[in-house]
Amino acid sequence: MILFVILAYSTKLIHGNQNISYNNLANLVSQLNLINKEKPEIKVLNSLVNEIINKYLNNCHINIIYDDLFDTDLYYKDVLQIMLKSFDSISYKVFHIYEYSSKNTIVSEPSCVNYIIFCQDPEITATKFGHTVDSRVFIVTIGSKWQIQEFFKSQASQNIMNLLIASAGSALQEKNKNEVADIKLYTHEMYIDGLGSSVQIILTTWKLNKFTRPEVNLYPVKLVNGFRGHRFILSAIEKPPLVFRSIDKILTQEQSTLWDGIEIRLLQLIAGILNFTLEIHDATLSKSRDEADDRIIRDLVTSKAELGISGLYMTNARYSMVDFSPVIMQDCGTFMSLGSFALSKNKKQLNITF
Ligand SMILES: *[C@@H]1O[C@H](CO)[C@@H](O)[C@H](O)[C@H]1NC(C)=O
Ligand SMILES: *[C@@H]1O[C@H](CO)[C@@H](O)[C@H](O)[C@H]1NC(C)=O
């Protein structure tokens, strides 16, 4: 009844004043539609999301990220708003994906952050998420079965270790039925072979507001079998005593250059435990006069290497581009200058990582 009255009024407005566009009217109508409609499918999704937050995500701050669909489409915007309203006991911040990816992450930010991402295609998570391997990522997507499968094969998904995907497409899209479709929950098994492949695995299903397999841990421990001999490309430059070349004349007759140093040995120890091997390359030279360390960062960013070492200092700019290992050495640098008092006493704490 209310709907009818406003509609009639709006139609009259359109005739009287060409300023009101038809689009606005359509938006208005569908908004009213939403308000008046029972939305069992949103309730189902909402209870799932809250269950996962309470069980797995509420130990840390949560960054909630949404894409264009959840920003512009009235129905999905409503879905997001209803979700947000139900999060009353958690610490969270909401970002549009573009806003998030252009955000500068800084070293001093809390390292304990979990993520909830609402999106059409999980591919958008190619943006770098999380700065510790402990971060948990929960993606709610309406993408098709194929999109989800493709995503699990992609590099983007392999960058996220603690990954959980809820396939909410059929629940949210087939709205005419009386019954809400089940929501399937997936993760991946990583490094199943030496090539570093991942496979998608189904964990459980959210059916009638319950998990079909409630005993399953939705964030299982990954990499229990290590990396199965995977060969990582390591970008390095000499910085003794952390990284340097040694000429080894004892093992072989010819002079072969071997890499050595604290960081190389540390990495070799880790490689032995986690079952991976290393292929060490000199950091790629560049035309621009970058600092040597930046050559390593660029090798990582451009995927020329998967690991980088050589006593890198952790700075805000670098921190937002790559993941750092825990700090292994601290250095109290003093900047000395002639003539200027501004810098002479400025001591800066520098963290070395590899
Ligand atoms: C049309 O709308 C604009 C702002 O949206 C307003 O400034 C303008 O006065 C309106 N024109 C008429 C004829 O109402
Ligand atoms: C490392 O992984 C390979 C491939 O799965 C396996 O054959 C090998 O036994 C593993 N080595 C150790 C020490 O676990």
Ligand 2 center to 228 CA (angstroms): 5
Return the pLDDT at 33. 53
For 283-309, b/e burial (b = at least 16 CB within 10 A) is: beeeeeeeeebbbbbbbbeeebbbbbb
Q: Is the CB of 351 under 6 A from ligand 2?
A: no
Ligand 1 center to 13 CA (angstroms): 13
Please name the residue whose Cα sits nearest to atom 1 of ligand 1.
Answer: 19
- Provide the greatest CA pair distance for the chain: 95
Contact 198/269 with Cβ under 8 angstroms? Answer: no
Token pair 């209310």 is found at 2
**Domain annotation covers residue 349:** no
Please name the residue whose Cα sits nearest to atom 4 of ligand 2.
Answer: 228
**Domain annotation covers residue 225:** no
235 and 287 in a single domain? The answer is yes
How many domains is the chain partitioned into structurally?
2
Ligand 2 center to 195 CA (angstroms): 13
Ligand 1 pocket mutation, candidates 13, 19, 20, 23, criterion most atoms within 8 A of CB: 19
* CB-based contacts of 154, cutoff 8 Å, min separation 6: 123, 126
| Helix 40-52 with 74-86: angle, nearest 10 deg | 40
Phi then psi dihedrals of residue 102, to 5 deg: -95, -5
152 and 43 in a single domain? The answer is yes
Ligand 2 pocket mutation, candidates 224, 275, 277, criterion most atoms within 8 A of CB: 275
Q: Is the CB of 149 under 6 A from ligand 2?
A: no
DSSP three-state, residue 96: strand
Return the pLDDT at 214. 92
pLDDT tens over the chain, length 354 residues? 344 444 434 443 444 445 555 556 556 555 555 554 568 888 999 999 999 999 999 888 999 999 999 999 999 999 999 999 998 888 999 999 888 877 777 777 767 889 999 999 988 877 666 555 778 999 999 999 999 999 998 888 888 889 999 999 888 887 666 788 899 999 999 998 888 888 999 999 999 889 999 999 999 998 888 899 999 999 998 888 888 887 665 555 554 568 888 999 999 999 999 999 999 988 888 777 667 788 888 898 888 898 998 888 888 888 878 888 878 887 766 555 455 444 433 333 344 444
**Domain annotation covers residue 104:** yes
Query: CATH number for the domain including 180?
Result: 3.40.50.2300
39 and 118 in a single domain? The answer is yes
Structural domain harbouring 245: 231-320
* CB-based contacts of 317, cutoff 8 Å, min separation 6: none
Ligand 2 atom closest to the CA of 225, numbered from 1: 14
Ligand nearest to the backbone CA of 275:
2
Contact 127/119 with Cβ under 8 angstroms? Answer: no
Q: What are 287's two structure tokens?
A: 């035309």
**Domain annotation covers residue 268:** yes
Query: What is the distance, to the nearest Å, from the Cα of residue 293 to the centroid of all Cα atoms in its chain?
Result: 25
Return the pLDDT at 281. 87
62 and 178 in a single domain? The answer is yes
Q: What are 91's two structure tokens?
A: 């610490």
245 and 185 in a single domain? The answer is no
Ligand nearest to the backbone CA of 194:
2
**Domain annotation covers residue 18:** no
Q: Pairing between strand 162-167 and 113-119?
A: unpaired
Ligand 2 center to 163 CA (angstroms): 25
175 and 309 in a single domain? The answer is no
130 and 168 in a single domain? The answer is yes
Return the pLDDT at 165. 96
Ligand 1 atom closest to the CA of 19, numbered from 1: 1
Query: CATH number for the domain including 265?
Result: 3.40.190.10
| CA–CA dist 71, 129 (Å, integer) | 20
191 and 49 in a single domain? The answer is yes
177 and 287 in a single domain? The answer is no
Contact 211/175 with Cβ under 8 angstroms? Answer: no
Token pair 């390359």 is found at 281
Q: Is the CB of 18 under 6 A from ligand 1?
A: no
CA dihedral 274, 279, 285, 289 (to 10 degrees): 20
Ligand 1 center to 19 CA (angstroms): 6
Q: Is 179 exposed, middle or buried (0-12, 13-18, 19+ CB in 10 A)?
A: exposed
From 211, 241, 275, give the residue that closes a domain. 211
Please name the residue whose Cα sits nearest to atom 3 of ligand 2.
Answer: 228
Q: Is the CB of 197 under 6 A from ligand 2?
A: no
114 and 260 in a single domain? The answer is no
**Domain annotation covers residue 333:** no
Ligand 1 center to 36 CA (angstroms): 30
From 211, 242, 273, give the residue that closes a domain. 211
39 and 103 in a single domain? The answer is yes
- Provide the total of helices (H) and of strands (E) in the chain, helices listed first: 13, 16
Ligand 1 center to 17 CA (angstroms): 9
**Domain annotation covers residue 301:** yes
Q: Is the CB of 17 under 6 A from ligand 1?
A: yes
Q: Is the CB of 288 under 6 A from ligand 1?
A: no
Please name the residue whose Cα sits nearest to atom 11 of ligand 1.
Answer: 19
203 and 244 in a single domain? The answer is no
Token pair 């060490």 is found at 280
Contact 236/310 with Cβ under 8 angstroms? Answer: yes
Return the pLDDT at 2. 40
Which residues does residue 102 pair with via DSSP β-bridges, in sequence order?
A: none
Phi then psi dihedrals of residue 276, to 5 deg: -135, 165
Return the pLDDT at 352. 46
